[in-house]
Amino acid sequence: MLSLITSALRTLPALALMGALSATAAEAQTAEGYWQGVQKAGVLRCGAAVAPPYVMRDPATGEYSGFFADLCKEFADVLKVKPEFVDTTWDNIVAGLQAGKWDMSLALNRTPARAMAVQFSVPAMEYQISLAYNKNNPKIAPGAASVADIDKAGVTLAVMSGTAQDKAISAAVKNATIMRLPGNDETRLAVTSKRADILVDASDTNQLFTQSNPDWAVALNPTPALAKQGVAFGLPHQLSAADVEVVDIFLEEKVATGHVDELIRKAVDEVLKGAK
């Protein structure tokens, strides 16, 4: 009897190991990646805050365009699902992703603060903040080259609330007034109507503004840089490394082949045509 008990005890570790391996195998078979879940749902939800040429929305039709909107559509094609755009604001674009209201946020600047709340793909492009203004504005010195040169009492800076440029300019200025507005159209109108002196926005977006107003508008890329960051897809924090890699491989190929540059040019042309 003792020998039988001893023999049984000796087999317990092996049985336990086999059981653990079986459980692990079963878990591996049933484990599902995030994008497989999206495929089952049949819809890729993209959180979209308007900021031409990254993301644009036709107010008449509700249709989305812009190069990040195009990338959302193309990634949906990779997954063989339907793209769905969820309208949001820059103030809520991170919180909405955290709350699971959409699967990825479009055109999100990579910052350490945001990286504590969400994950990022590799950048689709590099981002720099510039300052656009009326070259005839007496408040702006002709030789202005830095943020310090325009950070004066009486100078008003228009910026989209909750954006990376809002956070960057808020940390950099001490004397100028910051006018925070909900959207790109409102910030541009503030400068054209002279309620604000300077438009604080991404350098490529401000380039569109100056090209649309060549008679008076100029843009300054301050030295040192106000901010220089990658612009990427924001992804849920719980995504596995393998899930993030799916998006990274998709974007790396689009960037390396020049396809993202083509999408940017198309979006810029769309904005300029709309401004005429």
pLDDT tens readout for residues 234-272: 999 999 999 999 999 999 999 999 999 999 889 988 887
Q: Within its chain, how far is the Cα of 183 from the centroid?
A: 15
Q: Read off the pLDDT of each residue in 157-178 and give the average, rounded to a whole number.
A: 95
Q: What is the pLDDT of residue 6?
A: 41
Give the CATH number for residue 48.
3.40.190.10
Q: Are residues 104 and 162 in the same domain?
A: no
Strand-pair category, 56-57 with 64-65:
antiparallel
Q: What is the pLDDT of residue 31?
A: 55
Residue 10 has pLDDT above 50, yes or no: no
Q: What is the pLDDT of residue 32?
A: 79
Residue 207 has pLDDT above 50, yes or no: yes
Domain count, the chain: 2
Nearest to residue 249, comparing CAs of 78, 104, 127?
78
Q: Are residues 92 and 134 in the same domain?
A: no
Is 54 within a domain?
Answer: yes
Q: Read off the pLDDT of each residue in 189-203 and give the average, rounded to a whole number.
A: 96
Q: Are residues 132 and 188 in the same domain?
A: yes
- Residue bearing tokens 């507005």: 181
Q: Which domain holds residue 76?
A: 34-125+229-275
The more confident residue out of 226 and 11 is 226
Q: Nearest 5°: CA angle at 147, between 145 and 151?
A: 120
- Domain end call among 228, 249, 267: 228
Residue 119 has pLDDT above 60, yes or no: yes
30-61 residue pLDDT tens: 357 999 999 999 999 999 999 888 999 999 99
Q: Are residues 143 and 176 in the same domain?
A: yes
Give dist(CA 245, CA 35) in Å, integer. Answer: 11
Count Cβ atoms within 10 A of the Cβ of residue 62 and give its class: 0-12 exposed, 13-18 middle, 19 or more buried: exposed
Q: Are residues 188 and 238 in the same domain?
A: no
Q: How far is CA 202 from CA 110, 114, 196, 222, 230, in A?
A: 14, 18, 17, 12, 12
CB atoms within 10 A of CB 65: 18
Q: Are residues 221 and 147 in the same domain?
A: yes
Is 102 within a domain?
Answer: yes
Residue 15 has pLDDT above 90, yes or no: no
- Residue bearing tokens 């993209």: 46
Q: Are residues 211 and 221 in the same domain?
A: yes
CB atoms within 10 A of CB 262: 13
Q: How far is CA 88 from CA 18, 67, 129, in A?
A: 50, 17, 22
pTM of the model: 0.71
